[in-house]
Amino acid sequence: MFFVLPKEYREASLEELRERVGAAKAKLGRRLCILTHHYQRMEVVAFGDHLGDSYGLSKIAAVQEEADIIIFCGVHFMAEAADILTARHQKVYLSNPLAGCPMADMADMADVTRAWDSLKRFGGEKTFMPISYMNTAADLKAFTGKFGGLICTSSNADAALRYAFERKEKVFFCPDRNLGQNAGIKMGLKPHEMALWDFSREQGGLTDEEIERAKIIVWKGHCHVHTNFTVQHVDAMREKHPNAQIIVHPECIPEVVAKADTAGSTSLIVKYCADAPSGSTIAIGTELNLIDRLAHDHPDKTILPLSEAVCPVCPNMYRTTLNCLAYCVEKFADIEPISVSDELRSDVHLSLQRMLEVQ
Ligand code: 13P
Ligand code: SF4
């Protein structure tokens, strides 16, 4: 995809951009709904009608009735989900169309199909339920819906696993190895019951025996932002701030999750900070824009990134600037909306509908 923001928008001052976005919003009124993910920049969040994590924003998109222009300030897979959950006359725009998610790109449909075909020998769809993280492209969501599975987010991964194990013997989990393993550990699964599917190797690099004894097969994908955090960071934080509560996102590696006080979705992290008593110190292992905003919103608490040694900014979320939002809100009529193909829509819808039902 090719996208260059016109010069006029690239060169406008922050002040001018604020005025223009505000004026466009006032003009469009209830026709417009701006959804902003928690990892967005502060100046973008300021213009959002709703702020949330991927699960929360999906739910909000699904109940939009008046707005026919929905601008998503997030990444591509989130806008695709919003397109599926809204009516056909409602158009969804991604404020920076180049904002993707590398983790979603790690599960290419051709590799997933090859893996699924290999699993036929081990019972295939009779035995395995696919669960795919929200961070996937529409074709993988459609595959998931088609084979009786569901989408999960970090908010409902545990519930999604329970849903699956009530119906099938095993789970095929894509694409985040860490979310899959962390949810499995929480359920009490043993290491040998969780097998890692390395898509670059024949039969995922697994022996027949490893596949047979696995309860979950997790795809070898990861988030390059959350896997920055290490156990050494947790130890260093405990030494420097012995009173700090450490909370991390489940995209962090299981060793970090095991050492933290709590692990939870973005909305859980937000709530944890809001509910903590005044004077608390909270160290967070997640995206930096969210941590900075939480620190700003709770000046009576000390809210810190888990480590100062890494810069856990999601470069894709960061692509959305106020310049992009100004362009999108003024020129949406000239912009291609995010649209999932007709061929995939009903299966994607199935997978997302199950997600919304499972909490
Ligand atoms: P949430 O599901 O918590 O919004 O997270 C999405 C994401 O991309 C986290 O890295
Ligand atoms: Fe993708 Fe990680 Fe960015 Fe989330 S933080 S959008 S998983 S790259």
CA of 14 to the centre of ligand 2 (A): 26
171, 192, 223: which is the final residue of a domain?
223
| pLDDT over threshold 90, residue 155 | no
| Residues contacting residue 69 through CB under 8 Å, at least 6 positions apart | 28, 31, 32, 33, 90, 91, 93, 332
Residue of higher predicted confidence among 237 and 155: 237
Q: What residues make up the domain containing 232? A: 226-305
The pair of structure tokens assigned to 309 is 């040694």
Write the CA distances from 175 to 106, 112, 304, 333, integer angstroms: 7, 10, 29, 34
Atom 3, ligand 1: residue with shortest CA distance = 266
136 CB within 6 A, ligand 2: no
Task: Provide the pLDDT confidence category of residue 11 given band limits of 50, 70 and 90.
Answer: very high
Contact by Cβ (8 Å): 130, 172: yes
Write the CA distances from 275 to 23, 52, 268, 301, integer angstroms: 35, 17, 10, 11
| Residues 91 and 123 placed together within one structural domain of the fold | no
| pLDDT over threshold 90, residue 359 | no
Atom 8, ligand 1: residue with shortest CA distance = 135
Is residue 40 domain-resident? Answer: yes
Output the CA angle 335-347-92, nearest 5 degrees: 20
The pair of structure tokens assigned to 33 is 């709904």
170, 190, 223: which is the final residue of a domain?
223
Domain count, the chain: 3
In this prediction, residues 139-159 reach a mean pLDDT of 96
Q: What is the pLDDT of residue 2?
A: 83
Task: Provide the pLDDT confidence category of residue 314 given band limits of 50, 70 and 90.
Answer: very high
| Residues 194 and 267 placed together within one structural domain of the fold | no
| Residues 236 and 185 placed together within one structural domain of the fold | no
53 CB within 6 A, ligand 1: yes
In this prediction, residues 210-229 reach a mean pLDDT of 98
228 CB within 6 A, ligand 2: no
**54-62 helix and 342-357 helix, angle to the nearest 10 degrees:** 110
Tell me what percent of the residues of the chain surpass a pLDDT of 90: 97
| Residues 282 and 195 placed together within one structural domain of the fold | no
CA of 161 to the centre of ligand 2 (A): 22
Is residue 354 domain-resident? Answer: no
| pLDDT over threshold 80, residue 293 | yes
Task: Determine phi and psi for 117, rounding to 5 degrees.
Answer: -65, -40
In this prediction, residues 258-283 reach a mean pLDDT of 97
**Which CATH number characterizes residue 254's domain?**
3.40.50.10800
Is residue 282 domain-resident? Answer: yes
Q: Compute the mean pLDDT over every residue in the chain, rounded to the nearest whole number.
A: 97
In this prediction, residues 339-350 reach a mean pLDDT of 97
Q: What is the pLDDT of residue 109?
A: 98
Is residue 175 domain-resident? Answer: yes
Q: What is the pLDDT of residue 230?
A: 98
Tell me the C-alpha distance between 78 and 100, whole Å: 9
179 CB within 6 A, ligand 2: no
Is residue 177 domain-resident? Answer: yes
| pLDDT over threshold 80, residue 347 | yes
CA of 150 to the centre of ligand 2 (A): 20
| pLDDT over threshold 90, residue 74 | yes
| Residues 137 and 168 placed together within one structural domain of the fold | yes
| Residues 155 and 239 placed together within one structural domain of the fold | no
CA of 74 to the centre of ligand 2 (A): 10
81 CB within 6 A, ligand 2: no
Tell me the C-alpha distance between 230 and 234, whole Å: 7
Q: Which of 154, 155, 267 to mutate to test the pocket of ligand 1 (most atoms within 8 A of CB)?
A: 154
Is residue 136 domain-resident? Answer: yes
| Residues 219 and 113 placed together within one structural domain of the fold | yes
| Residues 73 and 111 placed together within one structural domain of the fold | no
Three-class secondary structure of residue 158 per DSSP: helix
| Residues 324 and 235 placed together within one structural domain of the fold | no
Residue of higher predicted confidence among 275 and 3: 275
pLDDT in tens, 79-115: 999 999 999 999 999 999 999 999 999 999 999 999 9
Tell me the C-alpha distance between 103 and 135, whole Å: 7
Task: Provide the pLDDT confidence category of residue 36 given band limits of 50, 70 and 90.
Answer: very high
Is residue 353 domain-resident? Answer: no
In this prediction, residues 60-74 reach a mean pLDDT of 97
223, 250, 285: which is the final residue of a domain?
223
Is residue 64 domain-resident? Answer: yes
| Residues 68 and 173 placed together within one structural domain of the fold | no
| Residues 112 and 136 placed together within one structural domain of the fold | yes
Cα-atom radius of gyration of the chain, to the nearest Å?
Answer: 21
Q: What is the pLDDT of residue 1?
A: 79
| Residues 204 and 247 placed together within one structural domain of the fold | no
CA of 209 to the centre of ligand 2 (A): 33
